[in-house]
Amino acid sequence: MEVFQELYQIKEAVWSELIKASHQKKHAWRTPIMGNLSDDRTRLRTIVLRKSNINGRSLRFYTDRRSAKWPAVKDAAIFSLLFWDPRKSWQVHAQGNPKILDAQTTDQIWSGLPVYSRSSYATLEAPGDNLLAAADGLPESFFDRKKADTEYARPNFGVFELVIDYFEFLQLSRNGHRRAKFSWHEKDWKGEWVVP
């Protein structure tokens, strides 16, 4: 694979792959690692990329509003994302602040989710709560329910977007590694080469 020689090529390639990842379930960047600092502890989790918007510099994610990350989302804390593609040997570390989507947009997304997708927000207890035995936390026969019978879980469903203002790119290659960092300045990305 050819190594990058121009900063603009990296910027275009990264956003192109992020767009693909939001639509292709088997894309390496579909499930990045997300991290934030909370109560003086680093919190890491794998999360599913749902939508990418180049013009808005945003990446969309769903979450259970009862989860440990939701208070940080509400407070617009800084979140980091780590994407790795082993086939291309590309790594991207991105940072941004979350923006909660409005109720109308969230309702539209929720209405399009099938029962199996709603199960992630339909547990009787909050994510992370203790259980007495191995279980998924869902009510009995959840997957046999009609869609209308899963509406009780709607208040648990949250949608947010990370507005990216910084990212680093690393390409590993036998022909020479490449590393660059990009910061958002007013109306465009400013890129700089850095030592890999």
Q: What is the 3-state secondary structure (H, E, C) of the chain?
A: CCCCCCHHHHHHHHHHHHHHHHHCCCCCCCCCEEEEEECCEEEEEECCCCEEECCCCEEEEEEECCCCCHHHHHCCCCEEEEEEECCCCEEEEEEEEEEECCHHHHHHHHHCCCHHHHHHHCCCCCCCCCCCCCCCCCCCCHHHCCHHHHHHHHHHEEEEEEEEEEEEEEECCCCCCEEEEEEEECCEEEEEECCC
Question: What percent of the chain shows pLDDT beyond 90?
Answer: 88
Global pTM value:
0.93
The answer to whether residue 143 scores a pLDDT higher than 90 is yes
Q: Which of 57, 8, 65 is nearest to 184 (CA)?
A: 57
Backbone angles phi, psi at 134, to 5 degrees: -60, 125
The predicted-structure confidence for 146-181, as pLDDT tens digits, reads as follows 999 999 999 999 999 999 999 999 999 998 999 999
Average pLDDT over residues 116-140: 94
Nearest Cα residue to 30 out of 58, 53, 49, 54: 49
| Cβ–Cβ < 8 Å for 111, 145 | no
Q: How many CB atoms lie within 10 A of CB 18?
A: 24
The stretch 5-18 carries a mean pLDDT of: 97
38-89 pLDDT per residue, tens: 778 888 999 999 999 999 999 999 999 999 889 888 887 899 999 999 999 9
- Burial class from Cβ neighbours inside 10 Å (0-12, 13-18, 19+) for residue 42 reads exposed
Report the alpha-carbon distance of residue 56 to residue 138 in Å, rounded. 36
